Structure 1
Amino acid sequence: MFRFDDPVYLWLQLLVPVMVLIRFVGWRRRIKKIKKFGDPELVAQLMPDISVYRPSVKFWLALGALSLAIIMLARPQMGTRISHDKRNGIETMIALDISNSMLAEDVAPSRLTKSKMLVENLVDHFNNDQIGLVVFAGQSYVQLPITSDYVSAKMFLQDIQPSLIQTQGTDIAGAINTCMHAFTPNDKVGKAIIVITDGEDHEGGAIEAAKAAHDRGINVFILGIGDSKGAPIPMGNGDYLKDRSGNTVMTAVNEQMCKQIAEAGSGKYIHVDNTKDAENQLNDDLSRLQKGETDSVIYSDYNEQFQAVAIVVMFLLILEICVLYRKNPLMKNIKIFKRK
């Protein structure tokens, strides 16, 4: 497995297009000055030893060396050994509702943002467990396959927005089914599906899906987020979502539906508000699940690969030095840069 140990240095690659732009502006100014001096073809005849192409060749060689030197600073590494780490924990699939109703702000700062914060805090409490992530609205798909890589789980959370799924709605049944098929075949480990939603199930079949998960030994927990009084859905332009009649759409958590799904899945319904009560209660419930041996693939023994990049950098710099701005009199009969 390939990685950069200090990837922050890769931001220096932004210097490359800046250097190209400066080079282009300088070239344009040079052409204008030559035209002011006289006809470009006559000026070229007055300077027969000046090469037209060598300065560009030197520039691109130096720029290539700079780009590779930045890569070298980022310390490219290659994982040379794969180890299978045996851990004693549970498997948890999190299904996160990203429908437009999750943008409501009855839970600060919004239902969706609060949900992502809750998942991130939940991951922080995991030690030997495995986690996966499913996002859903009118459709559902696996955002992160089940893994013990908690860093990746947090990274995937950052980019989750309702725009990821074009088909709007709330298909809880589809989300539960997607989660069921994402677990490993290991039957000796406790498995849980955590659905974070406002409970506005538009498709139906969620209770049947929860029962099917229970039959497979999977507990279904429902985290209902939002206020039962309802809240408008902000659209990002200072206005709120309206129906065809021009009335503001109000969205409220459907606690009754959430409780029925959790009961069918032999789990528990937990209401999420602006406190940490839901997080603490969920951690307690998950700790009671049967822990079994899980297999985690880990890349280890990373070796530095900057030496190979350094050799290429040195070669480019030596080549750049050897290429002169003026034509080499010893090679005047070799027309490398002559236009055909």
Structure 2
Amino acid sequence: MDKDLTPWYSFDWFTPSTLRSFTWENKIFLYLLIAIPVLFILRWLLRNKFNQKLPIAVTQKDFHVSPINLIRLLPEVLLMFVLAFVLMGLARPQKTNEKVEQWTEGIDIMIALDISQSMMIEDFTPNRLEAAKEVARNFINGRVQDRIGLVVFAGDAFSMSPLTTDYELLRSYLNEITFELIETKGTAIGSAMAVVTNRMGESETKSKVCILLSDGENTSGNIDPITAAELASAYGIKIYTIVVGKEGMVPYGKDFFGRPQMIENTIDETTMRKMADIGGGQFFRAADNKALEQVFSRIDKYEKAEIKETRFKDTSDYYVIYLHWAVAFFLLWLLLKSTFITNVLQD
């Protein structure tokens, strides 16, 4: 019910639905409503006991009771309503509308994914690249309002997706990633970081993060990974580096008889660790699918957008409505007290 549209004299103010919609600031006065009839009963008993009485003799045939005599009780009833309305006003009926506004300042996240031939090694299921794509997909699914971009690299690097909140588009790009996207062989980690910095350099977002995932050492490109990390750090980009895979003999394809072929795999962990230190992030090592999932899960917890909340409370008081009723009934009570209704019918 709208306070501004419903007049005070409307009986709608006394419907159960309206009364239940209020919050009562001083509920103690509502409990006192029970005392009103008790008070008037005591008042009637005291008056009946102490009022002066004039004994008269009336024959049985002259003695009769008329329902119209009950009118003499009307002033008492009106006075009870006056007290009830005053108590309802003192209880302070209110309605509060609470509005909550939430907003988040998203994070810019660039995922740099190694797609070199060594990512075909099968110490992950089904291989390193597919495992990395799967955890990256799950990572994207867990983000809200963050802009995410995608850089792929092998012997060269290029931006596959700019920073975007179109997560469906990002997932479709992940599905399209194959080893054939870049013909140049090798692993250009420094070039990948340069592309990331180029994409994020103009971003005005406070939090900028790069997740660099690779399984090898820098063997290609004309930019040193450490120099590239220092440049990224100068632009305020936090760097998380993830090395996937095991060192030593690892399965790579199958021979003529269908048996796994073993090859030697080396990892430049020192460079990747130093890049993370320069970028103010962390270095991680993942040797299998489960470990890789845990790494992305930890990064997901570290890099959360700040949620800001503002609450507005709009409180409206309705006690005036019931005080209007109290005044109206009080004036009516005074009017009846000044007429013959009270004076005559009590005799």
Q: Which TM-score bucket, shorter chain as reference? A: 0.5 to 0.7
Following TM superposition, by how much is the alpha carbon of 1:238 offset from its aligned partner in structure 2, in angstroms?
A: 7.8
Percent identical pairs in the alignment equals 29
Which of 148, 167, 181 is the aligned partner of 2:165?
Answer: 148
Following TM superposition, by how much is the alpha carbon of 1:252 offset from its aligned partner in structure 2, in angstroms?
A: 3.3
Which of 186, 202, 209 is the aligned partner of 1:169?
Answer: 186
> 1:198-277, aligned counterparts within 5 Å?
198-203=215-220, 205-234=224-253, 249-277=263-291
**CA separation in 2, counterparts of 1:167 and 1:255?**
23
SS where residue 192 of structure 1 aligns? strand
SS where residue 128 of structure 1 aligns? coil
Write the letter of the residue equivalent to 1:179. Answer: V
| CA pair 188-132 structure 1, distance change in 2 beyond 3 A | closer
**CA separation in 1, counterparts of 2:137 and 2:250?**
25
Report Cα offsets for 1:195-252 as digits up to 9, x if no partner.
110032113611111111111110111111101224253389888999xxxxx75223
Following TM superposition, by how much is the alpha carbon of 1:165 offset from its aligned partner in structure 2, in angstroms?
A: 0.5
Report Cα offsets for 1:26-83 as digits up to 9, x if no partner.
xxxxxxxxxxxxxxxxxxxxxxxxxxxxxxxxxxxxxxxxxxxxxxxxxxxxxxxxxx
Following TM superposition, by how much is the alpha carbon of 1:128 offset from its aligned partner in structure 2, in angstroms?
A: 1.4
| CA pair 93-164 structure 1, distance change in 2 beyond 3 A | same
| CA pair 122-290 structure 1, distance change in 2 beyond 3 A | closer
Report Cα offsets for 1:252-308 as digits up to 9, x if no partner.
333233212222222111112335444344444454448479xxxxxxxxxxxxxxx
Report Cα offsets for 1:154-190 as digits up to 9, x if no partner.
1111121111111010000000110111126333420
**CA separation in 2, counterparts of 1:215 and 1:129?**
22
Which of 121, 124, 130 is the aligned partner of 1:107?
Answer: 124
SS where residue 153 of structure 1 aligns? helix
Partner of 2:315: none
SS where residue 156 of structure 1 aligns? helix
**CA separation in 1, counterparts of 2:255 and 2:160?**
24
| CA pair 258-128 structure 1, distance change in 2 beyond 3 A | same
| CA pair 199-98 structure 1, distance change in 2 beyond 3 A | same
Size of the alignment, in residue pairs? 203
> 1:123-134, aligned counterparts within 5 Å?
123-134=140-151
| CA pair 235-176 structure 1, distance change in 2 beyond 3 A | farther
**CA separation in 2, counterparts of 1:241 and 1:136?**
27
**CA separation in 2, counterparts of 1:277 and 1:241?**
23
**CA separation in 2, counterparts of 1:254 and 1:206?**
11
Following TM superposition, by how much is the alpha carbon of 1:99 offset from its aligned partner in structure 2, in angstroms?
A: 0.5
**CA separation in 1, counterparts of 2:191 and 2:174?**
20
> Does the 8 A contact of 2:156 with 2:184 survive in 1?
yes
> 1:294-305, aligned counterparts within 5 Å?
none
**CA separation in 2, counterparts of 1:237 and 1:92?**
43
Report Cα offsets for 1:105-155 as digits up to 9, x if no partner.
112221111110110111111111110001100101111111001111111
SS where residue 253 of structure 2 aligns? coil
> Does the 8 A contact of 2:230 with 2:279 survive in 1?
yes
Partner of 2:35: none
Write the letter of the residue equivalent to 1:154. Answer: R
State yes or no: 1:136 paired with 2:156. no
Partner of 1:71: none
> 1:296-335, aligned counterparts within 5 Å?
none
> Does the 8 A contact of 1:199 with 1:258 survive in 2?
no
Unaligned runs of 5+ in 1: 1-85, 243-247, 294-340
SS where residue 200 of structure 2 aligns? coil
- For normalisation by structure 2, the TM-score amounts to 0.53
| CA pair 148-113 structure 1, distance change in 2 beyond 3 A | same
**CA separation in 1, counterparts of 2:174 and 2:226?**
27
> Does the 8 A contact of 2:139 with 2:300 survive in 1?
no
- For normalisation by structure 1, the TM-score amounts to 0.54
